[in-house]
Structure 1
């Protein structure tokens, strides 16, 4: 089964005029956004010329790009495929932002990729930092998280630096930021948006789906999730989405390198797995039925467990799921009876899913 790396290799001699930009290209750039461009791509304040992938490959800081990604080997393999590709080898890069603020509980990063007459704003999802995990959890009880505000500021800035078409996208939290920033962008900016790609992204605490800004761009929102999606089904979501086959099981499907690509497109499925549907229903029911104060307490419990066990990736979560489950059951003892009951059921469901995954 092929993946996005195979896709880049297969279409390396085909430019964007010959094969227009589409969803798999969006996922390639969403994964690209996880690379560390700190010493390589100009920041928003630098006011410097665009750089190319070739420039990055020749930098003395080349290897640093991949060190903090979830899969450094596959990340470098993707970069090398892009470098050798006529399709991606000619893209230009600028306006890199990477912000971590533990006090504000904020993790935000974005980069703008230029191709043909268009700009793709790629928002990074949750990275390997603890503050990134914390901000993700905070979405369950905070209406607007700091990175959403930053994403809105970013698209406004980029729109003033460019004149052409705009694409937006991101994986995980990055997809949420793409939808949020498009929703609250100026109407003139919205008119320039071609597509908004959301790859297995969590939804929103507050329902933005009736906002005027959202209704103006909803026809351009393209949401993709794997068939055992968990992250991409959390909170208030888009009603329409595409289901993609993955080469792995369970929560590990959040890894975009596992999404199956054949003949220039994703391999699509008709339905989510039933165990995924049940778990998502339980999670969202729990979130809906407890107060913001209890959500915050629950988030703090889970966050302490993650820090204690030094969990930074989905793989590490799977490896430590017994400790996580035990820690949650201990931590919720002081919470309401209904919350304890719901959390116990959730932990049980996660247990069965992990058993199925082997």
Structure 2
């Protein structure tokens, strides 16, 4: 959101922005980088992601202006900034994202590029509806009740509308194919 806002605020406001930081937020769709005002302001954008980032790698295909931070958590739980390591008031950084992060990023990018907007919207809307039934307000709360919440997710998918079920089948198939095509990135050192 921070980078999107920086790219599309008025010139008057943009002149007051020295730097726009994003902390593991999803990026901007690649097509938006073509907008002239975003091109002019790209140098102001800085992104911090954990080494196994999932969320922060969504839509971000450029590896520029990214700081990769060591975390005590794994996978999606690294999205919690309180798991990021700090030493002497500075983030503890690593040189590159993990192979798992690259795999997830490339798989999601392929999935995103392979699905039409209507299918994506249908799935996101139904996922939002289902997540409203989960225990816990925050991701950490939901994860502590994961067994119960998995059952609620499955139940929600079973009770979804026929069009939502069809969209989810398409997503699952496309995701599986994308994952298979990118599995070699898991072995990159």
Same fold (TM over 0.5): yes
> Given the alignment of the two structures, is residue 283 of structure 1 paired with residue 111 of structure 2, yes or no?
no
Distance, in Å, in 1 between the alignment partners of 2:79 and 2:168 is 31
> Given the alignment of the two structures, is residue 323 of structure 1 paired with residue 162 of structure 2, yes or no?
no
Which secondary structure does the structure 2 equivalent of 1:194 belong to?
Answer: coil
Q: How big is the alpha-carbon RMSD for the aligned residues of Structure 1 and Structure 2?
A: 2.8
Structure 1 match to 2:44: 220
Question: Post-superposition, which runs of at least 4 consecutive aligned residues in structure 1 deviate over 6 A?
Answer: none
Structure (1 or 2) with the greater strand fraction: 1
> Given the alignment of the two structures, is residue 306 of structure 1 paired with residue 134 of structure 2, yes or no?
no
The alignment of Structure 1 onto Structure 2 pairs a total of residues equal to 171
> Given the alignment of the two structures, is residue 334 of structure 1 paired with residue 166 of structure 2, yes or no?
yes
Deviations 1:314-347 (A, max 9, x none): 2234343633663576456423864331356799
Q: CA deviation at 1:237?
A: 5.0
Q: Select the structure with the greater relative contact order (CA < 8 A; seq sep ≥ 6).
A: 2
1:205–1:314 distance in 2 versus 1, CA, 3 Å = same
Structure 1 match to 2:79: 254
Structure 2 match to 1:270: 95
Deviations 1:138-158 (A, max 9, x none): xxxxxxxxxxxxxxxxxxxxx
Q: CA deviation at 1:205?
A: 3.9
Which secondary structure does the structure 1 equivalent of 2:22 belong to?
Answer: strand
Distance, in Å, in 2 between the alignment partners of 1:284 and 1:316 is 28
The question of whether the paired residues in 1 share the 8 Å contact of 2:107 and 2:175 is answered with no
1:336–1:244 distance in 2 versus 1, CA, 3 Å = closer
For structure 1, which runs of at least 5 residues remain unmatched after alignment? 1-175, 348-358
Structure 2 match to 1:173: none
From the CA coordinates, give the structure whose radius of gyration is larger.
Answer: 1
Deviations 1:111-162 (A, max 9, x none): xxxxxxxxxxxxxxxxxxxxxxxxxxxxxxxxxxxxxxxxxxxxxxxxxxxx
Distance, in Å, in 1 between the alignment partners of 2:152 and 2:176 is 12
Distance, in Å, in 2 between the alignment partners of 1:196 and 1:336 is 35
1:239–1:216 distance in 2 versus 1, CA, 3 Å = same
Which secondary structure does the structure 1 equivalent of 2:120 belong to?
Answer: helix
User: What is the TM-score of this pair, normalised by structure 2?
Assistant: 0.76
The question of whether the paired residues in 2 share the 8 Å contact of 1:223 and 1:238 is answered with no
Distance, in Å, in 1 between the alignment partners of 2:116 and 2:155 is 21
Q: CA deviation at 1:204?
A: 2.6
Matches within 5 A, 1:168-183: 176=1, 178-183=2-7
Deviations 1:273-296 (A, max 9, x none): 222222222222212211111111
> Given the alignment of the two structures, is residue 196 of structure 1 paired with residue 20 of structure 2, yes or no?
yes
Which secondary structure does the structure 1 equivalent of 2:32 belong to?
Answer: coil
Q: CA deviation at 1:186?
A: 2.6
For structure 2, which runs of at least 5 residues remain unmatched after alignment? 180-189
Structure (1 or 2) with the greater helix fraction: 2
